[in-house]
Amino acid sequence: MSPARRVVVTGAGTINPLGHDVPATLAAMQAGTCAIGPLDIRDADRLQIRIGAQVQDYDETAHFTKAELTLHDRFTQFALIAAGQAVAQAGLDAHLGDRAGVILGTSGGGLGTLDDNFRAVYEAGRDRVHPFVVPRLMANAAASHVSIRHGARGPVFTVSTACASSNHAMGQALALVRSGTADVILTGGSEAMLTFGGIKAWEGLRVMSRDGCRPFCASRNGMVQGEGAAVFVFEALDHALARGADILCEVAGTAMSSDAADIVTPSQDGAVRAMRAALADAGLTPADVAYVNAHGTGTTLNDRTETAAIRAVFGAHADRLMVSSTKAMHGHLIGAAGAVELLACLMAVRDGIVAPTVGYGQPDPDCDLDVVPNAARSARVDAAMSNAFAFGGLNAVMVLRRWTALAQHA
């Protein structure tokens, strides 16, 4: 059996509340920008939760024709924009071909389309909807349209595992490229759930904050939703080197686990098993990791449980580990969260800049980690971990490693 191929990132793209591309997003992360503010959506006055992190100054007609917009829900639009940026940075051919695929994560899919058409049928009393409603709202719409746009004719599918969707999708992409099934996979996630119906449903869970997201802070009182997408080019190292691609970092490892315990309450054991397995898959020890981008939702139970899990995995090294949650800046992007948060890990291993946990005030003794409070930090990061722990008890962890010219021989 031939050894697994090494996998690298050769392109990245995004549109999210912090910026409409990767450079703007990383600059905002470095500056500690908070994009959470009042929601500008229909019937916001009927909501209890009236804050969120929206993509600002977005004009869909600047990116898509009228004909395209009849087929593209907002989550599909975001995915296409991010994928286009990633492919351009990677310098790939316009038509990727049979050895390329698309694996994206989403939780809500075309929720905006669903919300609009429920209004049309139930509120306005219409008896008919547009014939493209189903193609717009289906969860695989974004992956399919990215495949069509870029001529990716290999494996194409969508993963939907709530807040772990992107990490699960990227984990599958890593496995397929490693195995030789594909040379290139466009992977990440997209989400656009900031609709009246979407927020109203989340209100019922009583996990949302009315005044901001403060992960690991003693005053934290819930999560804040965001929207957007991030897409990466995962490419086999030999394929990337053969075409002279610029390598951003190495995708070192991944792992997944299920709590098999509770549909909404997080499990320390499940998180521990996923992190330990990801380190093993990457061939790293806990001491090799300098930074963890935490799931860090800002809820009381999640942050306490994740802190305990990190301490169980990293032991004494946890006192030297930098741990931050960028959700305090861009909100919780649900199915796209892991993808946008992987950008923070990319910035750490490539640029040596660790994104902060903004809005941090009073320390919580149950969250006694170095959470990089309020200001970014310069540090050498050879390996970074990104955590995603979802409703349903589903955990997915990604590990990135710094790339140097010498790394190809490691």
Q: Is the pLDDT of residue 406 over 60?
A: no
209 and 67 part of one domain: yes
Nearest to 8 by CA among 185, 142, 180, 150: 185
Q: Among residues 72, 217, 332, 345, which one is catalytic?
A: 332
165 and 270 part of one domain: no
Is 332 one of the catalytic residues? yes
Instruction: Indicate whether 178 belongs to any domain.
Output: yes
Domain boundary among 218, 242, 266: 242
Instruction: Indicate whether 46 belongs to any domain.
Output: yes
The reported pLDDT for the residue numbered 2 is 65
DSSP 153: -
163 and 138 part of one domain: yes
90 and 138 part of one domain: yes
Q: Is the pLDDT of residue 255 over 70?
A: yes
Is 20 one of the catalytic residues? no
80 and 152 part of one domain: yes
Which pLDDT band holds residue 408 (cuts at 50, 70, 90)?
A: low
258 and 220 part of one domain: no
Q: Say how many domains are in the chain.
A: 2
What would the pLDDT profile of 187-243 be if each residue is shown by its tens digit? 999 999 999 999 999 999 999 999 999 999 999 999 999 999 999 999 999 999 999
195 and 340 part of one domain: no
**What percent of the chain is modeled with pLDDT above 70?**
98
- Residues with Cβ within 8 Å of residue 296, at least 6 apart in sequence: 215, 216, 302, 303, 306, 323, 324, 325, 327, 328, 357
237 and 315 part of one domain: no
Domain boundary among 242, 267, 286: 242
- Residues with Cβ within 8 Å of residue 6, at least 6 apart in sequence: 178, 236, 237, 250
The reported pLDDT for the residue numbered 99 is 98
Question: Strand 100-105 vs strand 156-159: parallel, antiparallel, or unpaired?
Answer: parallel
269 and 342 part of one domain: yes
How is the chain split among helix, strand and coil, in percent rounded to 5? 40, 20, 40
DSSP 34: -
Is 409 one of the catalytic residues? no
Instruction: Indicate whether 410 belongs to any domain.
Output: no
295 and 182 part of one domain: no
Q: What is the DSSP string of 104-148?
A: EE-SSSSHHHHHHHHIIIIIS--S---TTHHHHHSTTHHHHHHHH
- Size of the chain, expressed as the number of residues it contains: 410
185 and 314 part of one domain: no
Higher pLDDT, 2 or 295: 295
- Residues with Cβ within 8 Å of residue 153, at least 6 apart in sequence: 96, 97, 98, 100, 147
CATH number at residue 390: 3.40.47.10
Instruction: Indicate whether 408 belongs to any domain.
Output: no
Q: Among residues 34, 145, 163, 345, which one is catalytic?
A: 163
Q: Is the pLDDT of residue 3 over 90?
A: no
DSSP 176: H
Domain boundary among 212, 242, 272: 242
Q: Among residues 20, 168, 239, 295, which one is catalytic?
A: 295
**What percent of the chain is modeled with pLDDT above 90?**
97
Q: Is the pLDDT of residue 410 over 90?
A: no
* Domain boundaries, position 328: 253-402
Instruction: Return the residue matching tokens 């030999």.
Output: 238
Mean pLDDT over the full length of the chain: 97
Q: What is the DSSP string of 308-333?
A: HHHHHHHGGGGGT-EEE-THHHH-B-
What would the pLDDT profile of 301-342 be if each residue is shown by its tens digit? 999 999 999 999 999 999 999 999 999 999 999 999 999 999
What would the pLDDT profile of 127-148 be if each residue is shown by its tens digit? 999 999 999 999 999 999 999 9
Which pLDDT band holds residue 409 (cuts at 50, 70, 90)?
A: low
What would the pLDDT profile of 29-68 be if each residue is shown by its tens digit? 999 999 999 999 999 999 999 999 999 999 999 999 999 9
CB 281, CB 304: distance < 8 Å? no
CA dist., res. 90 & res. 278, Å (int): 26
What would the pLDDT profile of 102-112 be if each residue is shown by its tens digit? 999 999 999 99
Phi-psi region of 289 (alpha: psi -120 to 50; beta: other; left: phi over 0): beta
CB 315, CB 322: distance < 8 Å? no
217 and 347 part of one domain: no
This prediction's pTM = 0.97
